[in-house]
Structure 1
Amino acid sequence: MAWDHFTLVSPNKVRCLICPQELAYHDNTSSMMRHLRSIHHVGTPQMSNQTFNPPPAVSRKQQLDAALVDMIVVDMQPFSIVEDKGFKAFVNLLDPTYIIPNRKALGKKVDDKYKATKEKAMALVSKASAVSLTADMWTSIHMDAYLAVTCHFITEEVQLSTVVLGVQKFPQTHTAAHLAEAKDVLMEEWGIKWKVTGLVTDCAPNMIACANLLHLRHIMCFAHMLNLVVKRSLAQTPELEDIRSRGRKIVGHFKSSTAAKQKLSEMQRQLARPEHKLIQEVDTRWNSTFAVLERLFNEREPMGAALASLSSDLTPFTSEDYQAMHQCLDVLKPFHQATVELSEEKQVSASKVIPLVKMLKHYISSRCGHITHPLGMKLATNLKNNLIEKFAMLEKVTALSMATLLDPRFKELGFCSQVCAQTAIERLIRECAGTMHIELPAQSQPQSPPRAAPSNRLEDDSLWHSWTGMLVLNNR
């Protein structure tokens, strides 16, 4: 109670928040309680006939404690930082009167912050009439499995909002039943069990079966499907594997050798180029392959000069290798753009999936006539075939087709198949008629909505340029 009305101004002194009087402080609140009772009648019978309103201002210590908690959370710092000599000296120089909480007290404050933040998030989610979920699993560097479930919804201000429902250790076997049980507990806890309209996951059979067990509409993650398309296409192009293999060895050499790293930086400076480091490939993400090849191609001059002056058994790339690399990058570029665009999307992204696939197909088809290197042509053919195979049923996915149709940028022009577009139009009209309780004539033929106007997007972006080109052809 005493600390509700006092603030610590130094390790041995406190100040009353009701009056400006300062009191000595010796690790107990006796003097503060005596002051409150005798001067302000707090806690005495006289208070029964008085109205006492403590000032709402937050004390300096509370402000600093809150800032410390925010730093720990935002920067993911360990609690042990409050015991570090350098940190203590830094804080003491900033404010000698501030007493840093110990690890135990800090842990409690972080826990309180988590509970308060969770309560606010739950209140926000409770106002949503419908939500969608995304779920993913991964393994930490310590080989511990984790499950993360995220909730997406539209707020009352018509803004897309995202809340992480939970990231939890998952020691159980990754069966559909165990996954369904964990997700069901989270949905029950957050009160959204009957609000979920769809669950987005990767294409793993256990994830699909989990959605079926929960009776949720399952939607495959587009980025994951695109990742599978490109990885499969790369695997079907063994000639490119030789370039990738040599690239990995060259990158590894420059990463592990101090002399090679310094020589590369020296050559970049001599050529007046930025001192970019080479990039390592990550097996699980295809776009890391794109990043590796792009960096190797862009740094070919300083890298070649550095290798020529170093004694190593590495096989440098030839001019033909770089020509093949350049054309492969040209083919892979729109897939990289599609992945980045959806990952950076701040709005609902479902309506973009079908049009993006159409753009990718159009881009690959249009580029095939300009590719001269056999390796680039083979990669383009593999990408085109895998796109067609992997996304053959995409336009029949109700959630995606309806979203595309309702997006004024795309409407039925977003579809490759006009049959699928017409089916979506008929479904939309039926749903609207059902909502408005209108009975459609038996012989009536649904009319297509007006065609979308050409996009005004003018960035030098291959995907959207191909979309503009398709619109021009359709409007002729």
Structure 2
Amino acid sequence: MTAALNPRYQPPSRDAHTLIPAWYSVEKQNVIQELAQVSKAAITCDGWTSVAQDHYLTVTVHYISHGHIKQKVLNTKAVYESQAGLVVADKIQGILEEFQINTKVVAATADNASNMDVALKNLKLLKMGCFIHTLNLAAQKIYSISAITMWCARLQAVVVWLKRSTVAKTVMREMQRLLDLPEHNMILDVRTRWNSLFLMVERFLEQYPANLDQRLRKPMEKDRLERLTDDDFQKAEDFVKIMNLLYNSTHCVSIERSPTCGQILPILTKLEAHFRVSEEDTMFTSALKKKVWGDLEK
């Protein structure tokens, strides 16, 4: 099968355990030599946890070479000790020394975690807070509004049922073809990724006509699933309309090969105007706007 898909691909063999480390060593020396020609650099640092609950720290360097912005992932290092700031600082320092750029780094971008604040302060590096993380934290504030949490729960229950029900999948595919809708599956949100909530609601609106078929009503009632009302549908439309700008703002500053710092103030100015409460707003939209901008304006 592998040969049919790509005849040029050579799958790893029993020699891979010696070839891959040798290849890594060569590439690492190439990176060190390239960074030796760089006078100033910036880094991004991110601590994260795997599915197996192991903690890792990833450090990426950003620099300009021959007029082009470049970036290299220097290391993803397992952190078996405490995630305290001084421990993180020691790990970052070790990676920078390993690649001989510890005196060249002038700034670091990291999330809003307190241990990163302590680590970068200890390393005496200028910290540029991750703007995307700031937008993410502001968007997650909507979960603290009880009315929105209850609405999200009803929507999530329907999405979970549609994803699990074999009857629903069959009916959806049939209706998608009949109504000329994209043959997309439903999306279930992940609490720590606010974009997934936006995408879940957006996909729900896209596929809503396909889920109105009467054949789905009895299975829903049998499973004691609370049916969504027209008011829930209206809230979904309002939600997408309001949060779409925040979603697009996240993408605007999620670019690897061009600087994005200059976009922050214009984006904040646009968001301030967009989230300003007006007399026409419903209680639902007003609560959304107040909660999101109330966090961002800090």
The secondary structure found in structure 2 opposite 1:272 is coil
RCO higher in 1 or 2 (8 Å CA, sep ≥ 6)?
Answer: 2
CA distance in 2, matches of 1:193, 1:107: 31
Give the match for residue 133 of structure 1.
Answer: 43
CA distance in 2, matches of 1:279, 1:294: 9
Give the match for residue 211 of structure 2.
Answer: 303
CA contact (8 A) 2:45 2:109 kept: yes
Kindly provide the CA deviation profile for residues 385-415 of structure 1, in whole angstroms up to 9, marking residues without a partner as x: 22212xxxxxxxxxxxxxxxxxxxxxxxxxx
- Matching of residue 292 in structure 1 with residue 203 in structure 2: no
Give the match for residue 200 of structure 1.
Answer: 109
The secondary structure found in structure 2 opposite 1:174 is coil
Among 226, 240, 247, which residue is 1:329 paired with?
240
Kindly provide the CA deviation profile for residues 364-386 of structure 1, in whole angstroms up to 9, marking residues without a partner as x: 22xx4375432012111222222
Larger radius of gyration: 1
Give the match for residue 282 of structure 1.
Answer: 190
Give the match for residue 162 of structure 1.
Answer: 71
Among 70, 91, 99, which residue is 1:182 paired with?
91
Structure 1 residue 101 displacement after superposition = 7.5
The secondary structure found in structure 1 opposite 2:121 is helix
- Matching of residue 147 in structure 1 with residue 72 in structure 2: no
Among 235, 253, 266, which residue is 2:143 paired with?
235
CA distance in 2, matches of 1:371, 1:174: 47
CA contact (8 A) 1:304 1:316 kept: no
Q: Aligned partner of 1:337: which letter? A: N
Among 17, 29, 33, which residue is 1:107 paired with?
17
CA distance in 1, matches of 2:273, 2:107: 29
Task: Give the length in aligned residue pairs.
Answer: 292
Sequence identity, in percent?
25
Among 298, 302, 316, which residue is 2:227 paired with?
316
CA distance in 2, matches of 1:318, 1:376: 17
CA contact (8 A) 1:229 1:383 kept: yes
TM-score (norm 1): 0.58
Give the match for residue 440 of structure 1.
Answer: none
TM-score (norm 2): 0.91
CA distance in 1, matches of 2:108, 2:71: 14
CA distance in 2, matches of 1:100, 1:356: 46
Cα distance change on mapping 1:262 and 1:192 into 2, 3 Å:
same
Give the match for residue 222 of structure 1.
Answer: 131
Among 159, 168, 176, which residue is 1:260 paired with?
168
Q: What aligned pairs does 1:41-56 form with structure 2 within 5 A after superposition?
A: none
Kindly provide the CA deviation profile for residues 8-55 of structure 1, in whole angstroms up to 9, marking residues without a partner as x: xxxxxxxxxxxxxxxxxxxxxxxxxxxxxxxxxxxxxxxxxxxxxxxx
CA contact (8 A) 1:134 1:151 kept: yes
The secondary structure found in structure 2 opposite 1:344 is coil
CA distance in 2, matches of 1:320, 1:210: 48
CA distance in 2, matches of 1:310, 1:266: 17
5+ residue gaps in structure 1?
1-85, 390-476
CA distance in 2, matches of 1:102, 1:385: 56
CA distance in 2, matches of 1:327, 1:146: 39
- Matching of residue 375 in structure 1 with residue 290 in structure 2: no
Structure 1 residue 132 displacement after superposition = 0.7
CA distance in 1, matches of 2:279, 2:171: 37
Moved over 6 A (4+): none
CA contact (8 A) 1:324 1:373 kept: no
Cα distance change on mapping 1:371 and 1:282 into 2, 3 Å:
farther
CA contact (8 A) 1:133 1:151 kept: yes
Q: Aligned partner of 2:60: which letter? A: T
CA contact (8 A) 2:70 2:257 kept: no
Structure 1 residue 205 displacement after superposition = 0.9
CA distance in 2, matches of 1:360, 1:307: 40
CA contact (8 A) 1:307 1:316 kept: no
5+ residue gaps in structure 2?
none
Q: Aligned partner of 1:329: which letter? A: V
